[in-house]
A and B are shown apart, each in its own frame.
Chain A
Amino acid sequence: MGSLLFQLFALLTVTAAVGVVANRNAVNAAMCLLLCLVGVAGLFVQLDAYLLAFLLLLVYAGAIVALFLFIIMLLDVPGRSAWNLRKLPTLAGLVAFALLLAGLGSLVARGQLRAPNPNATEGVGAALKPYAYQLFTTYLLPVQVMGFLLLVAMLGVIVLSRKVDGPEDAK
């Protein structure tokens, strides 16, 4: 099934993921997400994508999960039941879960994926230069669009977070 390191990190990742779903407390769930990200970063390292691993930790774990924690603390709502555990939705959820697994697993089981030699190309994602090269040539347009997207997102957030003036405010 893979090397020991792979199995360890995989176990960590899956456990943390289950923790995200299963935790009653939202902050705990965020912490579990953090752990999950650490596990995935380890897996990235094993796949020789060092830059991506660090980016994951910096952007995802550092910024996004932090933002999540801020908002969770801001909206300090005492939760009632954390899960929607009525009969039909739960059953449907489990069915959906099984379907997804089966769907993707069938691709694997039927041998649709080529299984190339893992040692064939050495560390294709290790060096920094190919990233930059691709970003500036093949994927130049998506980069520009990303910039635009970030600008729009920023503007959107500013607009959305404006306080709605009540009738008592004179302005």
Chain B
Amino acid sequence: MTATLNGYILLSALLFAIGFLGVLVRRNTLVIFMCLELMLVASTLALVAFSRFNGTQDGNTFVFFILTVAAAEVAVGLALIVALFRSRRTVQVDELNALKH
């Protein structure tokens, strides 16, 4: 039995949802970031699946860009977290709540 497109899509959705749950539930900012990356990976999976089953090249090529963006985002985001840590001495997300009314 070969894999169907629906299977890949469902898998991608599941991964995405798990990542989202992680963003909501975890306290450590770094782990939240990792779950964010998980969501990105899920989207790349969906893209490649579509590209394979529709016979186009575009989805594959787009994964390049997603990879690049993810790299840049991680770099800058981690730099931000480090800078935040320097001033606040914490990476727990519920302690980083100074921007409230």
A and B touch in the complex (CB under 8 A): yes
Q: A21 near B26 (CB under 8 angstroms)? A: yes
- List 3 A-B pairs, minimum CB-CB distance, nearest first: A2-B3, A104-B13, A121-B55
Q: Shortest distance in angstroms between A158's beta carbon and chain B's nearest beta carbon?
A: 9
Given contacts A17-B18, A75-B85, A100-B13, contact A44 B48 (CB under 8 A): yes
30 A-B interface contacts by CB (under 8 A): A1-B4, A1-B7, A3-B1, A3-B3, A6-B3, A14-B14, A14-B18, A17-B14, A20-B31, A21-B19, A21-B25, A33-B38, A60-B70, A68-B78, A77-B90, A77-B91, A82-B31, A93-B24, A96-B21, A105-B13, A113-B6, A116-B5, A124-B51, A125-B48, A146-B69, A153-B72, A153-B76, A156-B76, A160-B80, A160-B82
Interface string of A74-92 (1 = CB under 8 A from B): 1101011111110001101
Residues of A within 8 A of B86 (CB): 163-164
How many chain-B residues does the 8 Å CB contact rule pick out? Answer: 77
Q: A100 near B17 (CB under 8 angstroms)? A: yes
**Interface residues of chain A: helix, strand, loop or mixed (majority):** helix
- How many angstroms between the C-alpha atoms of A72 and B8 in the bound complex? 32
Q: A120 near B3 (CB under 8 angstroms)? A: no
Interface string of B1-39 (1 = CB under 8 A from A): 111111111111111111111101111101101110110
Using a CB–CB cutoff of 8 Å, the interface residues on chain A facing chain B are 1-3, 6, 10, 13-14, 17-18, 20-21, 26, 29-30, 33, 36-37, 40, 43-44, 46-49, 52, 55-56, 59-60, 63-64, 67-68, 71-72, 74-75, 77, 79-85, 89-90, 92-94, 96-97, 100-101, 104-105, 107-108, 113-116, 118, 120-121, 124-125, 130-131, 134-135, 138-139, 142, 146, 149-150, 152-154, 156-157, 160-161, 163-164
Within 8 Å by CB of B72, from A81, A104, A120, A149, lies A149
Q: B25 near A83 (CB under 8 angstroms)? A: yes
Q: B74 near A116 (CB under 8 angstroms)? A: no
Residues of A within 8 A of B53 (CB): 115-116, 118
- How many angstroms between the C-alpha atoms of A139 and B68 in the bound complex? 14
For the complex, is B99 an interface residue (Cβ under 8 Å from A)?
no
Q: Shortest distance in angstroms between A101's beta carbon and chain B's nearest beta carbon?
A: 5
